[in-house]
Amino acid sequence: MEARLKPVELRTEIARHRGDLLRIAELQLRNRHLAEDVVQETLLAALKAADSYAGRASVKTWLVGILKYKVIDALRARARDPKAVSDLGAEVRTDDLDALFDDVGIWRVKPREWEDPAARISQRDFDRVLEACLRKLPGVSAQVFVLRELFEMRSEEICNLFGVTRNHLNVLLYRARMSLRGCLDLNWVQEEGIAT
């Protein structure tokens, strides 16, 4: 828990986190200009609400909370735009993942165990590797994964936002999870330990 900051200190602290917020927004929105707009709106909202910041959470946590709603609003606005319709068919194919399993659904090559995930997550490079892996996912797959797993948005709301069925969402989440696991397995977890 942070102590309540003076207004000048809070403004400085808010500005310090702009880069982190931009990376989160760009990863989720997959559009640099839209991400910059959303971060700008987040920073303005934070400055307007500076008096309400009580220091119960870190400034970064508070800002990410504001950013979360700004990103969701931007995604909703984009979903209403008829030009934003995308072909999700390519994202629900599982051909590339089917090669990982045999005919009865058992791993062909069992993924390596992550000896102590909590200790590995605490490593400073994990966020960088995870972000790189998320960037490799198809756009909608990455978006629904972040909305569901990081922003904890309800599945029904994500389905409405992207115009997909619950089954379609489950396929997108499955593909995202499997791709992330494979990417993290290759780029983070090695037999000898953490990738550097």
**Which CATH number does the domain housing residue 63 bear?**
1.10.1740
Indicate the pTM of the whole model: 0.57
Q: What is the DSSP letter of 99?
A: T
Please say whether the beta carbons of 14 and 47 come within 8 A.
yes
Question: Which of 37, 65, 83 is the last residue before a domain boundary?
Answer: 83
Query: Is 170 inside a domain boundary?
Result: yes
Give dist(CA 147, CA 48) in Å, integer. Answer: 26
Query: Which structural domain range is residue 67 located in?
Result: 7-83
The number of CA neighbours under 13 Å toward the Cβ of 63 is 26
135 and 63 part of one domain: no
Which stretches of the chain drop beneath a pLDDT of 70?
1-5, 82-96, 105, 113-124, 189-196
Domain tally for the chain? 2
pLDDT of residue 1: 46
Q: Which two tokens stand for residue 18?
A: 């702009």
H-type alpha helices, 17-125: 18-29, 32-48, 59-80, 89-92, 95-98, 117-121
How crowded is the C-beta side of 187, counted as CA atoms within 13 Å?
Answer: 17
Domain assignment of residue 148, yes or no: yes
Let me know: does 178 contact 160? Beta carbons within 8 Å.
no
Residue 36, phi then psi, degrees to nearest 5: -65, -40
- pLDDT score, position 43: 92
Q: What is the pLDDT of residue 196?
A: 43
CB atoms near residue 123 (< 10 Å): 15
Q: What is the pLDDT of residue 192?
A: 38
Instruction: Among 53, 83, 113, give the residue marking a domain's end.
Output: 83
Q: What is the CA radius of gyration of the chain?
A: 19
